[in-house]
Chains A and B, each alone.
Chain A
Amino acid sequence: MKVVVCVKQIPDPADPGALDPESKTLKRDTKLILDESDSYGVEMALQLVDTAGEGSVHLVSMAPNNEVGGLRTALAMGAESATLVSDDALKGTDALGTAKVLAAAIARSEPDLVLAATESSDGYTGTVPEMVAELMGLPSVTFAKSIAIEGGTAKVQRQTEAGYDDVECPLPALVSVTAGVVEPRYPSFKGIMAAKSKPVDEVTCGDLGIDAGSVGWAGGGQEIVSIADAPAREAGEVIEDEGDAHERIVSFLEELKVL
């Protein structure tokens, strides 16, 4: 069984992020790390291959400056190989453009299953996996809390607000994995040492047959026209309890529609 995991490499959330005043997007000129959201997909893929007793986990990522730091972490966890799409033409690519690139890169691997996080930790659009599935013509299941492969079928427990739904779909399929549903393994030192010799295929838009004009700022269906600081947090309302504070609280919660 061949599982492809979409992996995003993001600026370290521990370091204060900054916006590029020119592109009005997040600066990505520092070392990038594996998005924690994707570590769950990597772990689930490794577990599925372990359970199947055969197969491999392949990573697909799109990142600037041929950055492989985050990919090395996932390779150290046990993934076998990776494809990195890095091209100056991709600067400013929106969610749909990203999906086009990932779909083209994933298709080269002819996977049985594609896993992705539900959303990235820096972009939060939460739309890319479903776009990739649509572009590839694959069935898509979202918010998976567990996946089992039986024959040519993926049996997925799909998390809902009330519990979970049992969903089945034929393979190949794309499944987005909810954060926190598995415990990602720590890379072992042996894994870290092995990761540096695992193959990372670095490709460009041209290699994938993608017209550079259809991605990046040129191909984006959106434009960031301005950016501004978030408004400062305003002071909360202080209520002096004159015997009716509980009613004010109930009223406040009703306004928020949580009651």
Chain B
Amino acid sequence: MQFTFTDEQDMFRDTVRELFADLCPPEAVRASWDNDDGRVPGLWSALGDMGVLSVLAPESAGGLGMDEVDLVRILEEAGYAGVPDPLMEHAAIAVPALAEAGSPHLAAALTGETTCTVALRGGAAVGAAGADLVLVEQGDALLAATAWRMTPRTSIDQSRRLATILELDEREELVGADAALAFDRAALGTAAQCVGVARRLLDATVEYVGERHQFGKPVGSYQAVKHHLANVRLAVEFAAPLVYRAAWSVAHPESHDAVTRGRDVSMAKAMAADAVDLACRQALQCHGAIGYTFEYDLQLWLKRGWALAAAHGDSRSHRDRVADALGI
């Protein structure tokens, strides 16, 4: 049994990492806070050209026929880079749902000609103002709408342009798409991004405490600081394998039922949310006052981390779900 990622999957991750490093540096994330559409110019079309948006569509529908195990570390990299575009909503939830329903909206979504977002379980939609298609959960069904009314909502992370979808004007039911599966994909994708954000915070903090001197030594040489960061590393390294396992569970429905899939996804989201929350708190603690400032980039990832920890179910709700799945 193969427990590691393949060389090819490593290449997918490395290529996307390079793309994000070039096109989505911290300045671009910062600019997305108050530009017109909350997006990074040029990034979406580059993701479409690379094939990132079509990973979860079958080859017969024009996609790449890959699965969540291929996508999970790409979303992790999106978290690491702080990508503000609704990549997870589009590539991890909407594209497979449109493919499962045989929707005519799929083709444009695969190339990046259109942008899709989602509103699940009454939650807010990310980037709805600039989206062409929104998928909304209604009972057990998923509806796809090309016209809707909405009201903006405020996020602690202003690069997440949130909106509550009020009413769908032009809509159709995505027959064949599974709303429960869409939620699990959302929780999984969010967990992957949480891991990426936590890694970014850890890297930034390790670098900072190596540079910041106090009493003639780098503050990172003091044991109290080391312990904080070692605890973050532990939390991240314990969460990541659960996220990868959850990706495998979502990608292989033939191996288990939906309850088991939900259990695996919820274990991943609970652990990833806790890991990123710890990373946020310890990064802030180890940076000291500068970590609070708007001008310093750390805040971009702190706010993303806290927003994602709560998105698509917080740690407590996912722990409850694990308990239910285990019958305890």
Residues of A within 8 A of B (CB): 69, 72-73, 76, 186-190, 192-193, 196
Is the Cβ of B8 less than 8 Å from the Cβ of A186? Answer: no
Contact B46 A192, beta carbon cutoff 8 Å: no
Cβ contacts under 8 Å, B51 to chain A: 188-190
When distances are taken between beta carbons in the complex, the residues of chain A under 8 Å from B52 are 189
Query: CA of A69 to CA of B10 in the docked complex: distance in angstroms?
Result: 11
Q: Are A187 and B11 in contact (CB under 8 A)?
A: yes
Besides the contacts A186-B15, A189-B64, what 13 more A-B pairs have beta carbons closer than 8 Å? A72-B7, A72-B11, A73-B11, A76-B15, A186-B19, A187-B11, A188-B49, A188-B50, A189-B51, A189-B52, A189-B55, A189-B66, A193-B64
Within 8 A of A (CB), among B31-85: 46, 49-52, 55, 64, 66
Tell me, rounded to whole Å, the shortest Cβ–Cβ distance linking A7 to chain B.
Answer: 16
- A and B contact pairs by CB, cutoff 8 A, 26 listed: A72-B7, A72-B11, A76-B11, A76-B15, A186-B15, A186-B18, A186-B19, A186-B46, A186-B49, A187-B15, A187-B50, A189-B12, A189-B15, A189-B50, A189-B51, A189-B52, A189-B55, A189-B64, A189-B66, A190-B64, A192-B8, A192-B12, A192-B15, A193-B8, A193-B64, A196-B8
Q: How far is the CB of B135 from chain A (nearest CB, A)?
A: 23
The answer for the CA separation of A135 and B11 in the assembled complex, in Å, is: 36
Closest beta carbon of chain B to A203's beta carbon, Å: 22
Give 9 closest A-B pairs by Cβ, nearest first: A189-B51, A192-B11, A188-B51, A188-B50, A187-B15, A186-B19, A189-B64, A190-B51, A186-B15
**What class of interface size applies to chain B in its complex with A?**
10 to 19
| Min CB gap A247→B, angstroms | 35
B278 CB, min distance to chain A CBs, angstroms? 26
Distance in angstroms between the alpha carbons of A24 and B28 in the assembled complex: 43
User: In the docked arrangement, what's the CA distance between A187 and B66, Å?
Assistant: 17
The residues of B that contact A73 with a CB separation of less than 8 Å are 11
A112 to B50, CA, bound (A): 30
A196 CA to B12 CA, complexed, in Å: 13
A187 CA / B15 CA spacing, docked (Å)? 7
For A196, what are the chain B residues with a Cβ–Cβ distance below 8 Å?
Answer: 8
A192, B12: Cα distance in complex, Å: 7
Bound-state CA distance A186–B15 (Å) is 7
Q: A15 → chain B, closest Cβ, in Å?
A: 13
Residues of B within 8 A of A69 (CB): 7
- Determine the distance from Cα of A72 to Cα of B10 in the docked complex, in whole angstroms: 12
Residue of A nearest to B64 (CB): A189
Residue in B7, B11, B12, B64 with the greatest tally of chain A CB atoms within 10 Å: B11
What are the residues of chain A within 8 A of B8 when measuring CB–CB? 192-193, 196
- Residues of the B chain whose Cβ atoms lie less than 8 Å from the Cβ of A186: 15, 18-19, 46, 49-50
Taking CB atoms, residues of chain A closer than 8 Å to B12 are 189, 192
Q: In the complex the two chains form, what is the Cα distance from A190 to B49 in whole Å?
A: 10
Complex: A76 Cα to B50 Cα, angstroms: 11
**Contacting residues, chain A, for B49 (C-beta < 8 A):** 186, 188
Contacts of A72 in B (CB 8 A): 7, 11
Q: How far apart are the CA atoms of A188 and B111 in the complex, in Å?
A: 13
A244 CB to nearest B CB, Å: 33
- Complex Cα distance, B13 from A73, in Å, reads 13
Q: How far is the CB of A168 from chain B (nearest CB, A)?
A: 35
How far, in angstroms, from A190 to B50 measured CA to CA in the complex?
Answer: 8
Binary flags per residue of B13-37, CB closer than 8 Å to A gives 1, else 0: 0010011000000000000000000
Q: What is the minimal beta-carbon distance from A42 to any residue of chain B, in angstroms? A: 14
* Chain B residues whose CB sits within 8 angstroms of the CB of A187 once the complex forms: 11, 15, 50
B51 nearest CB neighbor, chain A only: A189
Residue of A nearest to B9 (CB): A192
Q: Separation in Å of the B81 CB from the closest CB of chain A?
A: 14
**CB-CB < 8 A to B64: which residues of A?**
189-190, 193
Query: How far is B8's CA from A188's CA once the two chains are assembled, in angstroms?
Result: 12
Complex: how many Å from CA A220 to CA B64? 49
Closest to B50 in A: A188
- Bound together, the chains give a CA A188 to CA B46 distance in angstroms of 10
A160 CB, min distance to chain B CBs, angstroms: 29
**Cβ–Cβ < 8 Å partners of B19 in chain A:** 186
Cα–Cα, bound, A174→B212 (Å): 50
Expressed in whole angstroms, the Cα–Cα distance for A196 and B11 within the complex equals 11
Q: How far is the CB of A39 from chain B (nearest CB, A)?
A: 11
**Complex Cα distance A192/B55, Å?**
13
Taking CB as reference atom, which chain B residue is nearest A68?
B7
CB distance from A227 to the nearest CB of B (A): 27
B253 to chain A, nearest CB (A): 23
Residues of chain A with a CB closer than 8 A to B55's CB:
189
Minimum distance in angstroms from A184 CB to a CB of chain B: 10
* Chain A: minimal CB distance from B247 (Å): 17
A121 CB to nearest B CB, Å = 16
Q: Which of A73, A76, A193 has the most CB of B within 10 A?
A: A193
